[in-house]
Amino acid sequence: DTGVSQDPRHKITKRGQNVTFRCDPISEHNRLYWYRQTLGQGPEFLTYFQNEAQLEKSRLLSDRFSAERPKGSFSTLEIQRTEQGDSAMYLCASSPGSLTNEKLFFGSGTQLSVL
């Protein structure tokens, strides 16, 4: 068990560029979450997958954001036409999703800076 892995750890981009982040959850965890965190705040929910199905998206997730989990394993989060307000830490988390075990484990995050 290597934990939740996120790549890259840091991303610096210019406004208007597209960026894509990857998350590899703990193996056999069927729930995967994306959160966003800005300085001094707790993580804010963005979206949630149960296996390959994206079951909910937050209102925070504008049309420029898209997330996929094509085979129910790793997930990608893409931001198109980045804006300075997108600068934040993007956190991925996974959970076994059983009734007896809902523990949520986070990766180390991708720190995005939009210049």
Partner 1 sequence: GESVGLHLPTLSVQEGDNSIINCAYSNSASDYFIWYKQESGKGPQFIIDIRSNMDKRQGQRVTVLLNKTVKHLSLQIAATQPGDSAVYFCAENLGLYNFNKFYFGSGTKLNVKP
Does 102 contact partner 1 by CB under 8 A?
yes
Instruction: With beta carbons less than 8 A apart as the criterion, state whether 32 and 69 touch.
Output: yes
Does 107 contact partner 1 by CB under 8 A?
yes
CA atoms within 13 A on the CB side of 66: 8
Of 15, 3, 4, the closest CA to residue 112 belongs to 15
Binding characters for partner 1, 1-40, by CB under 8 A (x = yes)? ---x-x------------------------x-x-x---xx
Instruction: With beta carbons less than 8 A apart as the criterion, state whether 93 and 32 touch.
Output: yes
Q: How far does CA 77 lie from the centroid of its chain?
A: 6
Q: How far apart are CA 70 and CA 109, in angstroms?
A: 21
Smallest distance from partner 1 to CB 29, Å:
12
Does 74 contact partner 1 by CB under 8 A?
no
**Out of 45, 73, 76, 87, the residue judged to bind partner 1 by CB under 8 A:** 45
Q: Which residues bind partner 1 (CB under 8 A)?
A: 4, 6, 31, 33, 35, 39-45, 48, 50, 55-56, 91, 93, 95, 97, 102-109, 111
